[in-house]
Each structure stands twice: as C-alpha cells, then as structure tokens.
Amino acid sequence: MKNLVTGAAAAAVLALGLSACTNASTDSGATSKVDVPDASEKVAVETDQAAAALVPADIADKGTISVAMDASYPPFQMFAEDNKTIIGFDAEFATAVGERLGLDVELVNAGFDSILPGLSAGRYDMAESSFSVTPERQQSVDFVDYLQGGAGIAVTPGNPKDLSMDPMVLCGHKIAAQKGTTQAIEQLPAIAKLCTDAGKPAVQPELFPSQNDAILALNSGRVDGMMADSTAVSYQGALSGGKFELAPGEIYEARPTGIALPKGSPLRAAVSAAVKSLYDDGTVNKLTAKWDIPDSNLSPTPGA
C-alpha cells in the first residue's frame, strides 16, 4: 500500500502535483519513480535501558514527550492521507528516539517559524523539523545533532533562468524561501550582500509561511527559484512528477541538523544517548533507506 501525500498542507501539496509514485535523487533534474512509504510499516525500535535511565524523573513518570514539527517538508515531515498523522523521516526518527527512551511521542504540527519560540515558551518538550544548527539558534535552544544538510535551488523544468547554487548566479533573481529557515534568515541575505559587493544586483528574497507556498510561487512564475534543503528539493521535485527540479551545483553551506530542546533542558543527555544508540545499531540506516535520505545526510557526529 502506498500513501498519497495529503493533509494539513493538503490543498497546497496536491496543487504541486505531489503523488505516491516518485524516486528522489540529489542529482539535478532527477524525477524517476519510487513509492512514498506506508506509514504503518514501522521500523522496530527497542528501549535502551542505559539511555532511558537518563530521562528526568518527571518526564519518565509522565511517560510522553511532545515533539513539534512543520508537516509541510517531504521527505522529512508531511501528512498522511488521513489528514492527521504526521509521517516522514523526522516523524519516525523522533518516535524512535522516544521508543529508545521508553517514552511515547506526541507529534505536534506547527508553523516552522513558530516552533523554536514555542519550544522556549514550554509548549513542547523538543522539536525536530530539519533545523540547521546555527549560532543564532543556539542562543535560545540546545541541539542534538542527528543529520547534516545543505541548501539547493529548485527551478522549473529545463531551468529556463539557467540558475545554479553558485551564489553569483542568483544575483538579481527572485528566490523564494520559507520564513524562519536558515535560507531566509541567513543565506539569502548573505548572498544578496555578496552580489552587491561584487557590483551586481542583489538577489531578491521572497519569503512564504510554508514550503508548499514557496513551491507554488515557483510553479506560478512569481519567483525564479526556491531555496531549501537540497534533499528536500530533490525529493519534492520527484514527488511533483517533474513540475520542478534541483538546479545543478554543489550543496550550499552544509551544516549539522539538530533536534532542538529548551535551553538547559535536563532531557538533552537522554536524547543524545538515544540518537547515538540509533546510529550504533543501524536503526538510522533503516529509516534513511525507507525515506530515500542519502547517506551524505548522515551525521558525522550523531548525538553531539
């Protein structure tokens, strides 16, 4: 059984042409076929007693942790066809972290740019939504590394604007990004400065509330390209049936991807131990294979 990608971002996602027959690749322009995994086919995860012993007593007594994520970012987070269940690599990895600690996990959908403020306000125990680890974010939350990734550029078929991930090529172009992302906050402003310093017109960022909105802007011709995690761009382009694709060029500014926790959270040590354990026994490899996450996204420092 194969699941359609639908749900809270349903109308927007389906408007992109996302379907269940895709095969994501990090090669530019790749749109071959693979199936969106059946969310009911779980990877078995057992409790690690040593890691579970690190869980703070109040959380262990409660038995559940809440994990926030923005379910508009395949293959990491998205909705299943019931419009309620969050699926994807991050959804399953967060659940696996909880299972390794002997805890149930409540996945909570939230707008990306509201997640870290909500985490700091105590609305969630942790957050896993493909967060790049940056010094700015580290001022307000703590991270546990679990993947790594860099940015890429989505373009319409055939790349009519001849874009690439070379920052100088983006000068003068309208580039979409999701609000609150590293691309929106750091990378596009930095590229704009590189352009003007070189005497070229600045890149023109266009920011949107969700990844789906950014892709819709690309498909409608409102922007020339869309900047996001390269793995997500490749996967989503394949899901779209070729409505957009990953532009050529090396990934931009690869950096750790982290699970976020409130600053000073006593849960961090347990989460770190769980992540290391999931790497040590190969569970992470089963999950990356299931969700077409390339090995290049695996963290060199899991649990750090």
Q: How high does pLDDT run on average in the chain?
A: 89
Task: Return the pLDDT at 37.
Answer: 76
Task: Return the pLDDT at 36.
Answer: 73
Task: Return the pLDDT at 48.
Answer: 98
pTM (2 d.p.): 0.83
* Residues in Cβ contact with 297 at an 8 Å cutoff, skipping those fewer than 6 apart: 147, 148, 149, 231, 257, 288
Is residue 287 over pLDDT 90? yes
Higher model confidence: residue 19 or residue 66? 66
Task: Return the pLDDT at 38.
Answer: 74
**Helix, coil or strand: residue 51:** helix
Is residue 40 over pLDDT 80? no
Tens digits of residue pLDDT in 161-201: 999 999 999 999 999 999 999 999 999 999 999 999 999 99
35 — pLDDT class (breaks 50, 70, 90): low
Is residue 84 over pLDDT 80? yes
64 — pLDDT class (breaks 50, 70, 90): very high
Tens digits of residue pLDDT in 2-23: 233 333 333 334 334 343 333 3
CA distance 181 to 166: 19
For 8, other C-beta atoms within 10 Å of its C-beta total 18
Task: Return the pLDDT at 30.
Answer: 39
Dihedral (CA of 129, 132, 133, 135) sign: negative
Is residue 270 over pLDDT 90? yes
Tens digits of residue pLDDT in 136-155: 999 999 999 999 999 999 99
Q: Which residues of 37-60 are buried (b: 16+ CB within 10 A; e: fewer)?
A: bebeeebebeebeebbebbeeebe
> Domains in the chain and their CATH numbers?
49-149+257-297 (3.40.190.10), 150-253 (3.40.190.10)
CA distance 13 to 18: 6
Task: Return the pLDDT at 226.
Answer: 98
As a whole number, mean pLDDT of residues 24-37 equals: 46
Strands 204-208 and 174-178: parallel
Q: What is the 3-state secondary structure (H, E, C) of 101-139?
A: CCCEEEEEECCHHHHHHHHHCCCCCEEEEEEECCHHHHC
Q: Is 231 exposed, middle or buried (0-12, 13-18, 19+ CB in 10 A)?
A: buried
Provide the token pair at 47.
């409790």
Task: Return the pLDDT at 250.
Answer: 85
CA distance 157 to 143: 37
Tens digits of residue pLDDT in 206-248: 999 998 999 999 999 999 999 999 999 999 999 888 999 999 9
